[in-house]
Amino acid sequence: MSRTAQQQRHRHRHHHRRRATGPRRRFLAVLVLLAGSGLLTLGGSTPAWAADTTQYAGDTTRGLGVAVPFEGLTDQNGNPVPISGAVGVDLVLGSTQQPYLPCQNYNRATGTGDTYVNACQERGSYATYTRFATGKGLMFPHGYFMGDSQPDLVHGGTLNTSWGSRTAGLSFEFYPQLDRDPEFVHSRFYIDVFDHHANGWTYSAWVGRIKLATLNDPGTARVGGRLTDGGRAPAKDRVKFLIFGGNAESSNGYPISSFAVFTSSGASTWDSGAMYAGPQRITVTDTATNRECVIDLKGISGRNNTLDLDLAQPGFGAPGAVCH
């Protein structure tokens, strides 16, 4: 996302994370390559919004639009998921290297933005946000489709967006139900190649299904530690965390990763929650000073990884942090 500095959505546990019950504001960010992982993630500096869907040419060979053979989520044994949740999809126009996200181009104060922002299920955030009930994680049994027309969710009728022909990439992100959020890895993957024509659509590589993972499963990790400002706990919501990384695969071998977005709880500790094991990029923002530090962890696994942070220290006290 992709996972993009993204607009914040909050989720409550001992700190805040993004809600499966409905995404709120996220950081805006750009696509970057997470060093060592080979995976594209949404993270980094804010892109300019001097663009609009209408400025991007479409690919007329795509037929009805683009499709991703992704069915949804199962438990570790391939059985129905034991929780409810949601999958949000970011639409990327332009290119992976120079992305434009039309659904994030939205001014909440004025109600204006991209020409077709009213086709976005979450204006200011995701193009689509699909909720599922307990046991119903296979929400896309025939795949995920981005066509050239979408419903106008504000005024009614249809908007001829040509998004299917204009799509450069699609970023999929999973949110578990609120009360079990800390337990489950927030999976994500990014698609930017559509080259197989069938049934009037242009398909990406086969993704298949994703198995929900917890810290009890192999190939997972968490990181956390002290969070202070000169020895004192920072205020609730003062510190923003954005984490992308890890390595895993879908049922068909497509690379997937994990993400976490949350804010400080007012306590003197922080905790990433469950993630996939592997390299992690952690962006920490002190909203009181607008100071931001990026911390790259080369590779972590298991539950017991410690990263102590002190906002009063250079690099927030993290070795190798890059700050501005």
Domain boundaries, the chain: 6-323
Q: What share of the chain is helix, strand, coil (3-state, %, to 5)?
A: 10, 45, 50
Span 145-163, mean pLDDT? 98
Q: Confirm if 315 and 232 have CB atoms less than 8 A apart.
A: no
Q: Tokens standing for 180?
A: 């079990």
pLDDT exceeds 90 at position 272: yes
pLDDT of residue 50: 60
- Residue 187's SS3 state is strand
pTM confidence score: 0.86
d(CA 91, CA 127): 6
pLDDT of residue 182: 80
Helix (H) or strand (E) holding 163: helix 163-166
d(CA 310, CA 265): 15
If we measure between CA atoms, which residue out of 141, 24, 137, 11 comes closest to residue 85? 137
- Sort 304 into a burial class: Cβ within 10 Å, 0-12 / 13-18 / 19+: exposed
Of the listed ranges 119-128, 172-181, 254-263, the one predicted with least confidence: 172-181
If we measure between CA atoms, which residue out of 45, 130, 40 comes closest to residue 92? 40
Return mean pLDDT, the chain: 88
